[in-house]
Every structure is written in C-alpha cells, then in structure tokens.
Amino acid sequence: MAGIGPLSEEGLVRLLDHTGERVADEYFGPFAEHLTFDDLRGFWRDMIMTRAFDTEATSLQRQGELGLWVASLGQEAAQIGSGRALRDPDYAFPSYREHGVAFTRGIDMPSILRVFRGLEHSTWDPAAHNFHIYTLVIGAHTLHAVGYAQAMDWDGLVGSGDPDKDGAVICYFGDGATSQGDVNEAMVFAAVNNAPIVFFIQNNQFAISESVTRQSTVPLAQRAIGFGIPSVRVDGNDVVAVHAVTRWAMEHARSGAGPVVIEALTYRMGAHTTSDDPTRYRSSADEDYWRERDPIARVETYLRGLGELPEDFEEAVRADAKELGRVTREAVKSWQPGPTDTIFEHVYAEPHPLVDADRAWFAQYEASFTDKEVTR
C-alpha cells in the first residue's frame, strides 16, 4: 500500500489514475498531448502482448523447460511507456526484466528464452536494435551505459540539433540496484561528464525479498540531488505519465543538457524470479491494493469508457497474444543444445589470447569425458 519514504506518492507525476480518469499536469501534460487514441490502443496492445509472453514464460519454467524466469508482471506500463518514447538513434541498456522494452525495440520475444534455457548468453544483435544484452549482474551495466553515452557525445551524436542524428542512452535497473556501488559510480561519471543518459529506476518495491524501505528513507529520485542530476518521480503504473516523463528526459539528454534520473514507482505483482515465494514477505492485502492499480486495466477502463476500445480490436489483440504464447511454447520445446564452445564467441571484438587459452582448456576438458553428451 502507499506508504512513506520510497513508497510515498510524494511528487509523483500522474496523467491517468487507477480509475481510468485523466489527471492534469501543467508541466508534463504537454509531453503527452500528441498521443492519439490509436497510440493509446497501441500502448494497451503492447502491454497485453508483453504480459502474454511473460505468462507463457512462467508456465514454461514451471514445466521444467527453463532454468529460471524473471517476470515483469505489473511493470508493463513503466516499460512500454518509456520504450515507446525512444527514437531510432537512442540506445537502451536493460537489466534482465525489461521484456516490454525489448518488445518495443523489435526483439524476437521467444528468442529471449534461449538465455533462460541456458543455451546462449544473448540472442539478438544489440547494434541492430540499439538494445544491449540482458545483464544479470545487478547494476554492472550502468557503468557500460554511461561509457556508451559518453562515446555518443564524443562522436558528435548529441546536441547537434538534427533530430535524425541526436540520441541518448536510457539505462534500466531496479530499486535494489540503487544500493550498489556501480550505480553510484555511474551517476558520478555521468554527472561530471554531462553524459547524455537517462537512469530509469523501476522501483517495484522489493530487492528480491528486501523492502525498499530497508534501503532508503527517502524517495529514490532524491538521491540524484547529491550527484547534481535532475530527477522526477512518476506513477510507474500509468503508461501515459511514464511516456510523457521519459519523452521529456530523453529530449533533455539528447540536447546535450546532461543526465536525468527517473524513478517509476510500480509494483512487482509476481515473484522476483520463479525461485522466489513472495507470500513469505508481503501480505495479500498489499497485493490486492496494487492489483486494483493494474497498469493494463486502467488504460482499458479509460478507452472503454470513451468507446475507444472496439470489440473487434480487442478480440484481434487477444488472438495475437494467444498466438504469441503458442509460438513461444513450440519454439522453446523444439530447441536443442548447440555447441558449447560458443560461450567464447563475442567476448571481445577481436581475437584475444586469454579467451583462446580458455577455449583450448575447455575443449580439453570436454574431451576428457567418455560420453560427451554428459557434459552438455
């Protein structure tokens, strides 16, 4: 339930409340004025598709088809609203839960599961989608993101005034990552170098089982003040507000004005991962409170109330979502392990003697087994 400190609603930007009513905001409202009903139906469709994929992945893990799954249930608005605010020159650095952002960047969704089936480190070309590979080491990618942003600036891809050329980086991480040293170091580098980056914190209220109130006594966005970085808090279950705030922040960064921190207050409706049991550390009343603030339901209520969610459109989207589930299920069950030495590919852009040595040792190790299939 709504609380104090990092769980408070202090300063939250909101443009669509949980009852499906629009809310005025003098500053950020104009950043959503361009959105048409077609756009909002598109957001709703994106969130439905993301949730369908997420639900199927959870089911596959429960059937033993995946080693682990990290669900995004309940965080669809934070991801779709921000992902749809990005442009082609922008570059996104996800952690491991940004399936909705991946969808907006054109990633083949079933292929993501090859990572969680233990077949590959990544399955997409980051340069083709401007979407970095998933990073499971908490907060480590924030330093990579700042470095990439700095390079964009040095390459003259920021603040030129050419909208087809100027870009910025957006880096996603959770509330737990804000306690990591890497994240704080990244913010120091970004601030002093005026790097074109938006740090997007999805405050889903738990670092695995640890409440965010055990990590901070104030809203997480306030931490940015100490680094000299402007920040904003947004209702992370309001896709319209998230889109508006991210649009503002990315324009700020693309212009060369420096970094921004966004804290999107949301709620992880599922477990941290499929190895977690959230009933051990939170109440059913808490879950009911946030279920009433479901990010998909509020857009659905708003559009339906205005007669802008036609029945045939809704049926088509739900059919597409069902089809995505089928395609995902059949793909995962058809996959077979490939050569194990692919783990040594793409470590560096060019050949490296240490990687070559590791590859040779691994080949010798595998050859030491009589039945090589046992090693796979």
CATH code for the domain of 77: 3.40.50.970
For residue 194, tell me if it sits in a domain: yes
Residues 245 and 328 reside in one and the same domain: yes
Mean pLDDT, the chain, integer: 95
Q: Which residues contact 58 (CB under 8 A, 6 or more apart)?
A: 69, 71, 73, 270, 274
Question: For 131-143, what is each residue's pLDDT tens digit?
Answer: 999 999 999 999 9
For residue 91, tell me if it sits in a domain: yes
List Cα–Cα distances, 52 to 259, 276, 329, in angstroms.
Answer: 34, 21, 11
| pLDDT above 90: percentage of residues in the chain | 90
Q: Which of 22, 62, 214, 281 is catalytic?
A: 281
Q: Which two tokens stand for residue 374?
A: 């046992």
Residue 272 annotated as catalytic: yes
Residue 46 above 80 pLDDT?
yes
Residues 66 and 206 reside in one and the same domain: yes
Confidence (pLDDT) at 5 = 85
Say if residues 93 and 144 touch (Cβ distance below 8 Å).
yes
Residues 206 and 353 reside in one and the same domain: no
The strand pair at 206-207 and 210-211 is best described as: antiparallel
Q: Alpha helices of 134-195 — where are they, by DSSP H?
A: 140-154, 181-192
Residues 243 and 357 reside in one and the same domain: no
Range(s) of the domain holding residue 319? 29-334
Residue 372 above 80 pLDDT?
no
Amino acid in position 93: F
Q: The pTM is what?
A: 0.94
Residues 143 and 194 reside in one and the same domain: yes
- Give helix 311-334 / helix 109-116 axis angle, nearest 10°: 40
Residues 354 and 238 reside in one and the same domain: no
Residue 243 above 80 pLDDT?
yes
Confidence (pLDDT) at 375 = 54
Count up the domains in the chain and report the number: 2
For residue 299, tell me if it sits in a domain: yes
Q: Which of 272, 293, 298, 329 is catalytic?
A: 272
For residue 12, tell me if it sits in a domain: no
Residues 228 and 347 reside in one and the same domain: no
Residue 281 annotated as catalytic: yes
Residue 198's φ and ψ, nearest 5 degrees, are -110, 115
Residues 82 and 156 reside in one and the same domain: yes
Residues 348 and 314 reside in one and the same domain: no
Residues 109 and 227 reside in one and the same domain: yes
Question: For 287-298, what is each residue's pLDDT tens digit?
Answer: 999 999 999 999
Average the pLDDT over 157-169 and give the result.
Answer: 94
For residue 191, tell me if it sits in a domain: yes
CA angle 93–153–233, rounded 5-degree value: 50
Q: Which residue from 17, 62, 3, 89 is spatially nearest to 235, judged by alpha carbons?
A: 17
Q: Alpha helices of 306-376 — where are they, by DSSP H?
A: 311-334, 353-367
pLDDT band at residue 257, thresholds of 50, 70 and 90?
very high
Residue 235's φ and ψ, nearest 5 degrees, are -70, 105
Residues 164 and 62 reside in one and the same domain: yes
Confidence (pLDDT) at 97 = 96
For residue 22, tell me if it sits in a domain: no
Residues 194 and 300 reside in one and the same domain: yes
Burial profile 66-97: b = 16 or more Cβ within 10 angstroms, e = fewer: beebbbbbbbbbbbbbbbbbbeebbbbbbbbb
Q: Which of 14, 51, 114, 268 is catalytic?
A: 268
For residue 11, tell me if it sits in a domain: no
Say if residues 253 and 222 touch (Cβ distance below 8 Å).
no
For residue 175, tell me if it sits in a domain: yes
